[in-house]
């Protein structure tokens, strides 16, 4: 049978893939690889990871791509290594060195000073994103402007660092490495924390390593490497389990399910925010939100 006559590979079922992203790949690289592994073009990602970072990356497959813009991924956890003693153009190890402190100045940084600097960067803070972040400036990504040779200075914005704990300290001439765990709100840049900690201590700082361990309800426990997915191209969560994991649940009867499928509004149930609606067979029918006494479908997940 010729290649033109070979039957098309059936589309995979909808759901979420939780990938343990390797270092050296962009999030878009992972999406491209997942498209080939799963045999579909309908793959998207929720949130990005820098190429140097590893860890949890949430991908939507087929109809589950509709979930990606609605997932409550506003709380994330990272394991990171911060290097004190030098600052870089990108606030991480991939950038060019901007400043390097004298070894004596680095040696003079005490453990107490480090602890105090971390405390200042914990809680509700104003953070200036890195100039090479994905923040848009007049419709263009900041990193694209930097690569084009522009000077970019982003405005500080409020973020929340729920946890910034020091796990280990390693000292060598001209350098201090801090292993930390950071739990933070969406939009927080861990490399900006490294930059600001180094600046506050007067020796400069940058991010040396980063691993994301949780995104919203999704953790490394559910994540699989691309190599494992190559051997077993299976979803981490099918559509029903994905909705049940990520959203509050509302079960409805057959008549209500039919009404929602056909675009009709249904009685409100008193749940805050976006929630998942499940039909009598236990399948995720839609994401919905209450508006006064009625609820409307935000996204319909099953056909009418």
CA 258 to CA 279: how far, in whole Å? 9
CA 76 to CA 205: how far, in whole Å? 22
Fill in the DSSP letter of residue 224: B
Helix, strand, coil in percent for the chain, rounding step 5:
25, 40, 35
CA 190 to CA 207: how far, in whole Å? 7
Residues 203 and 82 sit within 8 Å (Cβ to Cβ): no
Q: Is 5 helix (H, G, I), strand (E, B) or coil?
A: helix
Q: Is the dihedral of CA 27, 185, 76, 244 positive or negative?
A: negative
DSSP H helices in the chain? 27-38, 103-107, 111-120, 142-147, 190-201, 226-231, 239-246, 254-261
Q: How many CB atoms lie within 10 A of CB 10?
A: 8
CA nearest neighbour of 237 among 60, 63, 68: 60
Residue 291 buriedness (CB in 10 A; 0-12 / 13-18 / 19+): exposed
Active site residue ranges: 50
Cα 225 from chain centroid (whole Å) = 16
């Amino acid at each position: 049978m010729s290649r033109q006559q070979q039957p098309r590979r059936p589309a995979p079922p909808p759901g979420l893939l939780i990938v343990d992203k390797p270092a050296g790949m962009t999030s878009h690289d992972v999406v491209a690889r997942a498209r080939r592994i799963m045999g579909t073009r309908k793959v998207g990602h929720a949130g990005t990871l820098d190429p140097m970072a590893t860890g949890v990356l949430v991908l939507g497959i087929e109809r589950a791509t509709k979930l990606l813009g609605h997932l409550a991924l506003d709380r994330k956890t990272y394991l990171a290594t911060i290097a004190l003693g030098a600052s870089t153009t990108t606030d991480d190890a991939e950038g060019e060195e901007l400043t390097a402190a004298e070894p004596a100045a680095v040696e003079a940084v005490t453990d107490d000073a480090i602890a105090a600097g971390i405390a200042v960067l914990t809680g509700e803070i104003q953070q200036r994103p890195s100039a090479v972040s994905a923040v848009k400036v007049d419709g263009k990504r900041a990193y694209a402007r930097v690569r084009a040779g522009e000077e970019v200075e982003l405005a500080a914005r409020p973020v929340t660092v729920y946890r910034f704990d020091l796990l280990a300290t390693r000292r060598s001439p001209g350098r201090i490495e801090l292993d930390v765990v950071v739990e933070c709100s969406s939009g927080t840049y861990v490399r900006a924390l490294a930059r600001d900690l180094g600046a506050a201590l007067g020796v400069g700082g940058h991010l040396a390593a980063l691993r994301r361990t949780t995104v919203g309800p999704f953790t490394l426990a559910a994540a699989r490497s691309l190599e494992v997915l190559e051997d077993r191209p299976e979803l981490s969560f099918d559509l029903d389990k994905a909705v049940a994991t990520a959203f509050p649940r509302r079960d409805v009867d057959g008549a209500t399910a039919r009404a929602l499928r056909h675009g009709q509004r249904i009685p409100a149930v008193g749940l805050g925010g976006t929630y998942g609606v499940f039909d009598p067979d236990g399948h995720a029918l839609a994401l919905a939100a209450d508006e006064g006494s009625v609820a409307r479908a935000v996204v319909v997940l099953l056909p009418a």
